[in-house]
Structure 1
Amino acid sequence: MRFSTLLSAFVVVATGTTGVSAANFSTETIATAAALNPGNFYGAPIRPWNVGHTPGWYYGNGKAPIGIFSILDSVFCGLLDILPFFHCPKAPHNPHPYTRAFSNLNCGCEDASYLTYGLVEVVEDCQAMCESISGCIFYNTYHDVYAKGYPQFTCTLYKKVLTIGSASYCGGQHQPDGSINHIINSEGYYKSSPTA
């Protein structure tokens, strides 16, 4: 409770330069925005290959998935712009070139260099997310079939270049409806000129 009060005060102070008003956001929305930080893996502390995982955010122009609290739309991004942890993707002035490491696999990556994961509509949106997260140099997209019923791509970000050898998460998690998920259309991309 105290954290939310302090964060609300911060937001009120910060509105002078951005024009965003704290009155537009509930305490819950502010707390959700504050959870998008590196210490919380940007809202996704449980990695997607572990049981109990939930995407930390949704970014795209499609219909936002039910149950995802951090929907990166223009209103929520206005709030994120005044917080120090996470900012929505913007077209970079000099985007990094990316090279495909692998494609069309039936397993996603697992690695200790995990940064966060969320959902996107198209692969290019995952690249935009990688560009917006400090330290991201590799992203992996795939369809997690049956996992929580999300039709979007899973977008997982990492802070080191991975290879096909890291693609070891093939699903196998039991779902509430009794089905077992599996992975399809897994692709991995790395920044051709990685930067710190």
Structure 2
Amino acid sequence: MRFTALFTAVAVAVTGASADFSADSITNALTLTEANHYGAPIPPWEKGHYPGWYYGNGPSPEGILCFLDELLCELLELFPFCLHCPKPPPKTPPTPPEYTPTFTNQTCATQDSSYQTYGLVDTVADCQAMCDSVSGCTFVNTYHDVNGKDGSTQLTCALFTECLTAASNDNCGGQSQPDGSIDFITNSDGYCKKKPTA
């Protein structure tokens, strides 16, 4: 813990940025490794699941331990074993799409043993960018998990190592929530990547 606090102070001094994150946020980020499914060890179709991270334009959703903001993303680049943030797209001429849709607008989400991790994002493009930063990622499933939070605008972003189709969509919600409501899935889309992330 002492190392993390020192690391935070040095990082803020070197980058000149304000420390709007705590030593705890860095400690949490450093635990996001492949071994614990990048902070989401329980898949989104099992009871007790929770997203491991949030990548978007903020503010961070309630209960998220790791908000991948710009400064934290720079710091994580120093640690090869943990989750890295997406890189900005290169400034080159447009290329053919990297992802091909395999299904759209379903009311069930993907459930498969090739699960890697999941978190929350603002857009489908954000989820695809996260897949580009996770080794072995081949497929993304984005969807709204409507679970008593007044219809959050964030998308659930689940990453997998296998390219999947709607035949894998058997997570249709139906779980009781703390407020007594039952969750349900909307806008479930699947995208297969042409080449797995190295």
Q: Same fold (TM over 0.5)?
A: yes
Match of 2:154 in 1: 152
Report the alpha carbon displacement of residue 40 of structure 1 after superposing the two structures with TM: 1.2
Q: 1:139 to 1:67 in 2, by over 3 A?
A: same
- Secondary structure of the equivalent of 1:172? coil
Match of 2:55 in 1: 59
Match of 1:89 in 2: 86
Distance between the aligned counterparts of 2:79 and 2:120, measured in 1? 22
Match of 2:27 in 1: 31
Report the alpha carbon displacement of residue 35 of structure 1 after superposing the two structures with TM: 1.4
Distance between the aligned counterparts of 1:122 and 1:74, measured in 2? 17
Match of 2:177 in 1: 175
CA contact (8 A) 2:134 2:197 kept: no
Report the alpha carbon displacement of residue 148 of structure 1 after superposing the two structures with TM: 5.3
Q: For 1:119-158, what aligned pairs fall within 5 Å after superposition?
A: 119-146=120-147, 150-158=152-160
| 1:135 counterpart letter in structure 2 | G
Report the alpha carbon displacement of residue 195 of structure 1 after superposing the two structures with TM: 5.4
Distance between the aligned counterparts of 2:15 and 2:85, measured in 1? 15
Q: Does 1:116 align with 2:111?
A: no
Moved more, 64-73 or 144-153: 144-153
Distance between the aligned counterparts of 1:177 and 1:19, measured in 2? 45
- Secondary structure of the equivalent of 1:31? helix
Q: Does 1:40 align with 2:36?
A: yes
Match of 2:14 in 1: 19
Report the alpha carbon displacement of residue 58 of structure 1 after superposing the two structures with TM: 0.7
1:44-72 Cα distance to aligned partner (Å, 9 max, x none):
11111111111111111243211112111
- TM-score, with length taken from structure 1: 0.85
- TM-score, with length taken from structure 2: 0.84
- Secondary structure of the equivalent of 2:183? strand
CA contact (8 A) 1:33 1:79 kept: no
CA contact (8 A) 2:105 2:187 kept: yes
Distance between the aligned counterparts of 1:162 and 1:175, measured in 2? 28
| 1:103 counterpart letter in structure 2 | T
- Secondary structure of the equivalent of 1:19? helix
Distance between the aligned counterparts of 2:3 and 2:107, measured in 1? 45
- Secondary structure of the equivalent of 1:140? strand
| 1:56 counterpart letter in structure 2 | G
CA contact (8 A) 2:111 2:170 kept: yes
Gaps in structure 2 of 5+ consecutive residues: none
Identity of aligned residues (%): 51
| 1:156 counterpart letter in structure 2 | A
Moved more, 109-118 or 145-154: 145-154
CA contact (8 A) 1:108 1:170 kept: yes
CA contact (8 A) 2:135 2:197 kept: no
| 1:161 counterpart letter in structure 2 | C
Cα RMSD, aligned residues only: 2.5
Q: How many residues align?
A: 188
| 1:140 counterpart letter in structure 2 | N
